[in-house]
Amino acid sequence: MKFGVVTFPGSNCDQDMIDALHAMGQQVIRLWHKDTDLSAFSTDDMIILPGGFSYGDYLRCGALARFSPIMSSIIAFARQGGKVLGVCNGFQILCEAHLLPGVLLPNAGRNFICRNTYIISRQPHTLLTRKAAHRPLLVPIAHAEGRYYADEDTIENLFANGQVIFQYCNEHGEVSATSNPNGSLHHIAGICNREKNVFGMMPHPERAVLAELGNTDGRPIFESILSYSSSHQLHSAVS
């Protein structure tokens, strides 16, 4: 499995993501926002849109990055079944590109939030959660516009289809208003598309991979991705 990490003007978490993937022993290809050729990637590979402030977050977060040349190729890649992950600003870009439903609005408190926050998943069968479900993970957040919002029909469908992959919680895994840092509807911290090949999350798992940083709770998320890759390769070899 190969990983492509995109850098937009204003990205500042691309190197964090690359370092985390290298620490997990993975091959990484750097991608520039003006690149359009993704022929080096198969649908078993993953393109990652990292956090940061693409284009200075003018207009809306991710609104300008959505029109970068690479995004047309990423949209086509996703529609062919390729794996795509957006973290923080990357999540915002995926929503602006309509690869994921909903929007990310300014935090309820109108402040930039930068701290560790617990999240939990109760979906054990997605690419990001196979090894990260049913237990709280302490993962950093750093955003001013992370409040997930969608109309109630969309929210109902997200839950019905198992597309809500992470919710904010406390250290015991309990989901409540006091554990919601930004006012996201239904405490949503991450979602995926109906086909479960495009993922977006506001917390930064790449900042919780290296033991030197004092937190490795992000590793199970990457281990989940890699376990999918291993099992898929085994299935392909057997078949």
- Spatial distance between the Cα atoms of 127 and 47, rounded to a whole number of angstroms: 13
Q: Which of 180, 233, 205, 178 lies closest to 90, judged by CA? A: 205
Evaluate whether 161 touches 128 at the Cβ level (below 8 Å): no
Report strand pairing: 103-105 vs 147-149: antiparallel
Terminal CA-to-CA distance of the chain, rounded, Å? 18
Per the annotation, the verdict on 88 as an active-site residue is yes
Burial of 138-149, coded b for 16+ CB within 10 Å and e otherwise, reads: ebbbbbbbbbbe
User: Which residues, in sequence order, are bridge partners of residue 87?
Assistant: 201
Residue with tokens 């985390």: 20
Catalytic residue among 61, 143, 187, 206: 206
Catalytic residue among 33, 143, 187, 204: 204
Q: Kindly report the number of other CB atoms within 10 A of residue 132's CB atom.
A: 27
Q: Which of 211, 136, 194 lies closest to 167, judged by CA? A: 136
Per the annotation, the verdict on 174 as an active-site residue is no
Q: How far is CA 98 from CA 59, 71, 172, 193, in A?
A: 17, 11, 34, 10
Catalytic residue among 88, 95, 169, 192: 88
Per the annotation, the verdict on 13 as an active-site residue is no
Catalytic positions are 88, 204, 206
